[in-house]
Amino acid sequence: SANLNKAKANNYSKYLNIDQLLSLQNTVSSFEQEELIFIVTHQSIELWFKVLILTLERLQTKILGGDNDIINLTNDVRQCCIFMKTIIRIMKGIEALSSSKFNNFRHCLKSASGMQSAQYIKLEKILSFNESTNINNNLSSMLMAFIIE
């Protein structure tokens, strides 16, 4: 029984690359816990950006391809909204840091900013309200309606 549990744990860890994942949080300041909260929060958001972008691109492809299955499209939109709400909830993790605690290690970031995230920029483009194509405007409007719901 113990060997079976160990085998399952190893498979879980291997499948999810847990050791590699947990090695990616490299603090550089002496304020390790506060910096770790910041890093884990932002890395988690980047992972959810990846899922959200993939789902939005799939949804755009369906719409542009003429998919008229309203139930299927609505489910995809709802899924996107769930992912967006998840990102918003994860962002709340930053609230655990007071501005003074954040400022203790902010200098380590130098000029780095979340606005430099390639995925954030891509997501912003996908959801842009300023695009000339109606697909982005309609998709953004649908998502906002579901998020507010």
The whole-number average pLDDT for the span 4-13 is 71
Q: What is the pLDDT of residue 138?
A: 58
CA gap 106, 38 in Å, rounded: 10
Residues 47, 25 contacting (CB under 8 angstroms): no
Q: Residue 148 is which amino acid?
A: I
* 78-135 pLDDT tens trace: 999 999 999 999 998 888 888 999 999 999 999 988 888 999 999 988 888 544 555 5
Contact, 100 vs 112, CB < 8 A?
no
- Per residue in 13-49, pLDDT (tens digit) is 999 999 999 999 999 999 999 999 999 999 999 999 9
Q: What is the pTM of this model?
A: 0.79
**Region for 27 from its dihedrals, namely left if φ exceeds 0, alpha if ψ lies in -120 to 50, beta otherwise:** beta
pLDDT at 145: 57
Q: Per 3-state DSSP, what percentage of the chain is helix, strand, and coil (rounded to 5)?
A: 80, 0, 20
Which position has the higher pLDDT, 33 or 136? 33
Which token pair is 103? 């400022």
What residue has token string 């501005």? Answer: 99
Percent of the chain at pLDDT > 90 equals 52
Query: Under DSSP, is residue 69 helix (H, G, I), strand (E, B) or coil?
Result: coil
pLDDT tens for each residue of 96-108: 888 999 999 999 9
Q: Which two tokens stand for residue 142?
A: 């649908």
The HSE-up count of residue 96 (CA atoms within 13 Å, CB side) is 15
Query: Which of 143, 144, 145 lies closest to 55 in space, CA to CA?
Result: 143
